[in-house]
Amino acid sequence: MAAIYLKRGLDLALAQQVAKQLMACDALGYHARDESEISKSFEARPIQAAPASAASFSVGAAMPILVAVSVPPSGFVAVVCVTTLGVLALLGGLAAQVGGVPVAKGSGRVTLWGALVMAVTAGARTLFGRAV
């Protein structure tokens, strides 16, 4: 509990006193701010998130569609899958950078889940013999 204040240069007795005092006033706020490093700047902003999400979805959906109309049927599935995963990687990396997390981690996560969803969809199509 007081370790944060020890790192900031307070001696042990004062660090414990500060931590106890802050816990007595607002334990949840103390924990969020000082131990979890959550501040007002990290709160959700739905008004800003909605247009960003809509724009990201539109760009992400437009690219495979543009590729799909310009590719011959013989290479359609492979080219659309590769393009879709590329766009997912790009947008995942961009979102990670904006969110302040490692770009490779964000990009990889979005690409991995996108590939998994495409594989499950292809598996369902194979299993049921229908386009999904």
- How many whole angstroms separate alpha carbon 5 and alpha carbon 12? 8
pLDDT surpassing 70 at residue 31: no
Q: DSSP letters of 29-73?
A: HHIIIIIS---GGGS--HHHHHHHHHHHHHHHHHHHHHHHHHS-G
Is residue 71 classed exposed, middle or buried when 0-12, 13-18 and 19+ CB atoms within 10 A define those classes?
middle
Q: What is the mean pLDDT of residues 35-62?
A: 74
pTM here is 0.59
pLDDT tens track for 56-91: 888 888 888 888 888 888 888 889 899 999 999 998
Residues above pLDDT 70, as percent of the chain: 78
